[in-house]
Every structure is written in structure tokens, then in C-alpha cells.
Amino acid sequence: MASRVGQAATVSSGNANPLRFMASEESSIGIYEFLARWFPATGTLLDVGCGSGGFLSFASASGLAATGVDLDGGNVAACAARSLEAVQEDAVSFLTRQAHGFDVVSMIHFVEHFYPSDAANLFEAAVASLAPGGRLLIVTPNYADPTVSGNIFWLDPTHVRPYPPALLRDLCASSGLVTLHVSNQVLVNLGRRRALVRPWQRLRFGREYERPNTVVVAELPR
């Protein structure tokens, strides 16, 4: 990872990647559709840590003027090849220069790559880039899910620490945001067989079993 305050390291899409089932655009469509509930009818969106542009493409198709920022030049080039707008820059530096220019800022599997002090700076920078009434959309691993805490989370060596909902609420509040929504969701396609056995496994392992995503939505007051 080039910068802990900038951009999370890229997850490879190759077969050697143990997180490929969560990293592909096909598996992420559930996340995108869930977040779209908080899209405005029209407006601007910035995807922080945009990767190869999966969410940018979805947001653009939903009618938003979407821009991404990513520190990885390969990701930015991949976005350009898809005619998507993306900037190669440290995320915090980019955010602080936007002067309330975006109606939506998204951070999908991004904050867990930051130490708490750097995460506080990230949230403050995100607020600086939000227009009044704008929304911050956050997705991060749900560490209360035993499949995440026992295996998945630490398969990515660039993960610094988990961010439980209470801490995300505090980061939002400290930055001047009002939290609108908090939930733990499945949102990724884990396969038909696992979907069939999930109710029985939750009886054994608890209600958070195979709810690998925490979603937080916060708003900047007008």
C-alpha cells in the first residue's frame, strides 16, 4: 500500500486472490443496488477507492455524473478504458480540494485500510467534498460475522482494523454528519448452496453469520 492516508491497495482479480468472490463486479451488484436507495434523482457522485470502475459504471447508468479517485494507476487506466472518469491521487488530498462539489461520496471496502486517526481525517475530508444535504455511503466488512472475523478479513494483508457500526457512527457524528441508516447485510452472492444452508448455520453461529457487509449511510445537514 503506497499510502495509509491515501488509497487502499488493489485486490487482484486473478485466480490466486482468495477474496475474488467478493471483489468481482458480478458479486458486488447487490451492494450497488442497495446503495442506490440513497441516490438522488440527479447529481454528482465521487467513488473513493474506485478500483476498476464497477460502482462508477453503475452510478453513471443510474443517471449520476460519477467520478472516481484511486491511487493505483492501473485502476485509473482501467476506468479510462471504460470511458469512466477517474483521477489518480491520494484520496484525502483530492477530497479536501472539492469544496462541497458532490451530492454523494461512496467508500466501498475502503475505511478498513486506515488507522483510526487517519480514518477521522478521511471522514472530515469527505465532509469537505459533500454538498449540503449530500450523503456519505460506507460499506465495510462486518467483523461480527464469524466468517469475516475468523477468515475473510485477514486474508487481505492491507486491512488495518475492522470498523464496527458504533465506531462508524462516532466518526460520522464527529465530522458533522447525521447517520440515516446502519445495517449488516449479505449483499454478495455466496452461492446457491450456501444460501440454502444459511438459516441452519445462523442457528449455530449466530444471527450475523454470513452477513459480511456493514452499511452506513450519513447525511450532511443543509
Q: What is the pTM of this model?
A: 0.83
Confidence (pLDDT) at 12: 31
C-alpha grid cell, residue 77: 487506466
- Residues with Cβ within 8 Å of 120's Cβ and at least 6 positions away in sequence, in order, are 171, 174, 175
Confidence (pLDDT) at 147: 82
Under CATH, which architecture does the 21-219 domain have? Answer: 3-Layer(aba) Sandwich (3.40)
Bridge partners of 87, per DSSP, are 69
Confidence (pLDDT) at 151: 82
Tell me the pLDDT tens digit for each residue of 89-127. 999 999 999 988 999 999 999 999 999 999 999 999 999
**CA-based max dimension of the chain:** 49
Confidence (pLDDT) at 186: 75
Confidence (pLDDT) at 203: 53
CA 67 to mean position of chain CA atoms: 15
Q: Which residues of the chain have pLDDT under 70?
A: 1-25, 187-210
Confidence (pLDDT) at 96: 93
Yes or no: say if 122 and 192 are a contact pair by the CB < 8 Å rule.
no
Question: Which residue's C-alpha cell is 475505511?
Answer: 111
Residues 46 and 110: their CA atoms lie apart, in Å, by 13
Confidence (pLDDT) at 220: 97
CA-wise closest residue to 50 among 31, 68, 30: 68
Yes or no: say if 140 and 163 are a contact pair by the CB < 8 Å rule.
yes
Confidence (pLDDT) at 209: 58
Tell me the pLDDT tens digit for each residue of 159-169. 999 999 999 99
Confidence (pLDDT) at 206: 53
Confidence (pLDDT) at 88: 98
Confidence (pLDDT) at 23: 54
